[in-house]
Amino acid sequence: MELSKILQPECTTCATPGSKKKVLELISDLAAVQYPTLTSQEIFESLLAREKMGSTGIGNGIAIPHGRLTNISQPVAVLIKCEEPIAFDSIDKQPVDILFALLVPADQCEQHLSTLSTMAEKLNDKLILKQLRKTQDESELYQVITQ
């Protein structure tokens, strides 16, 4: 799937959320704009439920929080670059500064796994990661991840 179909520029931001809870809330607020039928709280609870199963911090300063929702028909993604890294219980115990969140319809498990795998590969590319970390604003951040 082409990333620009699920990640909109308005769901890409540079922020200083301060904590894991606050960044999950920010993801929820941004995603709720794309799905007015959902509340930020519903999205937050979906992300939190997944985090309770184990952290989505995959190491190297990257986290890929994700959740499944019954009230959506298309996947939606959120990309956040944290100005200050945050503790995220990552597998390497390092703080996180790049988060790619994915919310998918509950009945699209295969697509969900495929998109997560593609993003993990992209974010593990040292050149792309370096470019993301060097970006100065949301527009640049969006361009780097969707190119």
CA dist 83 → 24, 60, 95 (Å) = 15, 16, 12
Q: What single DSSP character describes residue 86? A: E
Instruction: Tell me, yes or no, if 66 is annotated catalytic.
Output: yes
Give the span between the Cα atoms of 99 and 124, in whole angstroms.
12
Give the number of residues written for the chain.
Answer: 147
Which one is catalytic: 66, 67, 75, 96? 66
Question: What burial class does residue 136 get, using C-beta atoms within 10 Å of its C-beta: 0-12 exposed, 13-18 middle, 19+ buried?
Answer: exposed
Nearest Cα neighbor of 93 from 55, 132, 51 is 55
Structure tokens at 38: 């959902």
Give the span between the Cα atoms of 120 and 84, in whole angstroms.
21
Could you list the active site residues? 66
